[in-house]
Amino acid sequence: MMADILRVHTWYGSVAAETKKGFLTVTDKKDGYSFLYPFGWQEVVIDGQDKVFKDVIEPLESVSVNTIPTVKQDIRELGSPQEVAEALIKKVLAPPSQKTKLVEAVEHDVDGKAYYTFEFTVQAPNFTRHALSAITIGNGKFYTVTTGANERRWEKMKDKLHTVIDSFQIFNV
């Protein structure tokens, strides 16, 4: 059973916080990570994704986690938050045909581990998705967690989506 208290990281550092009302916890003991997601989102299976939860009514409201093997020991070995975010958005997180914009990229530390978090938009022909990601390296893996919503729902959803990203944390396995 998960403890009532989780260590939740914010954009600026680390604070201890109770599990938030309206959220459920995912803990993956095999891959070594945990995060919160909004109550009501359903788990779906998507090839190439480690875990995916999405809103059944608003399909652009989702969270996904990916892990890939790496020999790197620290996210900072890949470059600055801005450099890494730009490369990931353009090459991995958005189709090459869509226009992307990095809003913000920052580095923060949780229990001695560096994380990069960033906010970006992806413009498709008929909608714009506003998204948040967190990335880090540990356990011989490169972790990426991404959440977002349709731009038209961003103001309503942004606090929930920040909670998802801010709650993401890896642990040794």
- Model confidence over 50-80: pLDDT tens digits? 999 999 999 899 999 999 999 999 999 999 9
Q: Give the three-state DSSP class for 58.
A: coil
Q: Which of 7-11, 95-99, 138-142 has the lowest mean pLDDT?
A: 7-11
Domain of residue 33, CATH code = 3.40.1000.10
CB atoms near residue 162 (< 10 Å) = 16
Tokens of 60: 């652009």
Question: Could you list the residue range(s) of the whole structural domain that residue 17 is in?
Answer: 5-170
Q: Given its phi and psi angles, is residue 157 left (phi above 0), alpha (psi -120 to 50 degrees) or beta?
A: alpha
What one-letter code names the amino acid at 108?
Answer: H
C-alpha span between 15 and 12 (Å, rounded): 10
When pLDDT is cut at 50, 70 and 90, the band that residue 5 belongs to is: very low
Burial class for 70, CB neighbours closer than 10 Å (0-12, 13-18, 19+): middle
The predicted model scores a pTM of 0.87
Total number of domains in the chain: 1
